[in-house]
Amino acid sequence: MVDGKKLLVLGGAVSSLDVVEQAKKMGVYTIVADDRQTGVAKEAADEAVVVSTTDMEGLLTLIREKNIDGVFTGPSEFNIVNAMRLCELADLPFYATKKQWDICSNKASFKELCRKYDVPVVPEYELDKKFLPEELEKIDFPVIVKPVDGCSSKGIAVCNNKDELKAAYDYALSFSKEGKVIVERYIRNGGVGTSVRYIVDDGDFYLSLLGDRYVVDPEENNILINVLTVYPSKYTSMYIDKIDSNTVKMFKGIGYNNGVFFMQALPEGEHIYFHEMGLRLSGGLTYKITEAANKVNDLAMMIRYALGGKMCTEEEAQRIAPYLNGKIAASLCIPLKAGTIGKISGLDEVLGMIDEDGLTQYYFEGDTMAPEAIGTLLQHFARFKFFAENQKELIDKINKIQDTLKIFDTKGKDMLFMRFDTDRLK
């Protein structure tokens, strides 16, 4: 039982809002800390304090003075690392070790781990800043270039020739703390990726959900962020038959016993190639889909574990169903052009089309979407989650949402970056 316990949440921005709201539903007293006076998570919490999430001494004092039972945060990797360190210092539960985190958050070390356990990965090329002619000659374009330790889709570019590759290499380097870049074969599959999610409880692994992710711009390859995810994935049975058992062996091999994780892959014909992962809850808030479909809420599980409870009950484990009990679910994002939002219309009508609690909104009237956010997850105006009985209903809902929602800048110009073409689902 966690009712009445106290949870310290690191970060007062929108990424922590769902943590606060879920914890409060569970009867947990929430205290949010960061170095800002206000924030949506702080406003929703029972208590808010101004202490930087990097100030370990200040946070340890807070834990002692407030008799805090656990520490958690949203999908912000910056604050996950801070929470991990704080829990170690305060002797509080945390779902991952620093060694596990370092392996999984680095694209190169993750792929190396995959190869060790025969989990297929996207082929890559050996290349460094010297751009040796003999190395460049081995490259079969197009390729995708990205920082080895990047997140939020920052620093990524698709290259069709050597000049583009050299420019993209420098661009990716600017986003890498380690100063390393990875160059992979670009898989042409219509801009579709696959995500795989697990729940882990005391060393038992449960495949919770697979989804197919469609990027914004598969033609020009300029905007590679996700615009739509459909669950369950059309590749679910292929994954279970060919890869699932090796994935379980892989994470048992690094001693991962409790928590969640997701892996991202690119399907090509009869193959699925993995390229990166997150040892954390995803920013896509998929727990809202699984909770509605089969009453499985991995965010609630993670909060419970952070407060000293069991990750997954026997009843919850029995309800985990990667095929969503025959349901189709979707998560639709709306990418914006750069500018300041002057007017939003049609949002109330859209909310009438989707499930309760199906909207996660990132920008509001008066907010500015900066030009440098283009091509990153910060480009999204909102995320809409909903269910459909079949593909026709799915396509109809997507089109109706896009027809209804209007977003204009302060000069009255349309801010929608690109409409999702539902023919891609056929």
- What angle separates helix 98-105 from helix 77-90, to the nearest 10 degrees? 170
Query: What is the CATH classification number for the domain harbouring 273?
Result: 3.30.470.20
103 found inside a domain: no
Residues of the chain with pLDDT under 50: none
In this structure, the dihedral spanned by the alpha carbons of residues 161, 164, 167 and 173, taken in order and rounded to 10 degrees, is: -80
37 found inside a domain: yes
Helix (H) or strand (E) holding 22: helix 17-25
Q: Which domain holds residue 88?
A: 6-94
Residue 139 and residue 70 share a domain: no
Residue 318 and residue 204 share a domain: yes
Query: What is the CATH classification number for the domain harbouring 166?
Result: 3.30.1490.20
CA pair distance 157, 145, nearest whole angstrom: 5
104 found inside a domain: no
**Per-position DSSP letters for 2-17, written without gaps between them:** -TT-EEEEE--SGGGH
- Give the pLDDT of residue 153: 66
Residue 355 and residue 313 share a domain: yes
Place of tokens 């596990």: 100
Residue 379 and residue 314 share a domain: yes
Residue 227 and residue 139 share a domain: no
Q: Cα 287 vs. chain centroid, distance in angstroms?
A: 12
**Three-state SS at 65:** helix
**Of 185, 204, 227, which residue sits at a domain end?**
185
Q: Are 362 and 380 in contact (CB under 8 A)?
A: yes
Residue 210 and residue 165 share a domain: no
108 found inside a domain: no
Alpha helices in 244-313 (DSSP H): 244-253, 287-294, 298-306
CA pair distance 172, 147, nearest whole angstrom: 5
Residue 371 and residue 414 share a domain: yes
319 found inside a domain: yes
Residue 312 and residue 219 share a domain: yes
Residue 353 and residue 418 share a domain: yes
Largest Cα span, the chain: 64
Query: What is the CATH classification number for the domain harbouring 36?
Result: 3.40.50.20
Q: Cα 178 vs. chain centroid, distance in angstroms?
A: 21
99 found inside a domain: no
pTM of structure: 0.89
90's tokens: 């305060």
102 found inside a domain: no
Closest CA to 190 of 212, 162, 165: 212
Residue type, 3: D
Residue 218 and residue 164 share a domain: no
**Of 163, 185, 207, which residue sits at a domain end?**
185
Q: Are 159 and 165 in contact (CB under 8 A)?
A: yes
Residue 158 and residue 84 share a domain: no
- Strands (E) located in 191-338: 192-201, 204-215, 226-231, 259-268, 271-278, 328-335
Residue 150 and residue 27 share a domain: no
Strand partners, 346: none
Structural domain count, the chain: 3
**Of 185, 211, 239, which residue sits at a domain end?**
185
240 found inside a domain: yes
CA pair distance 97, 94, nearest whole angstrom: 8
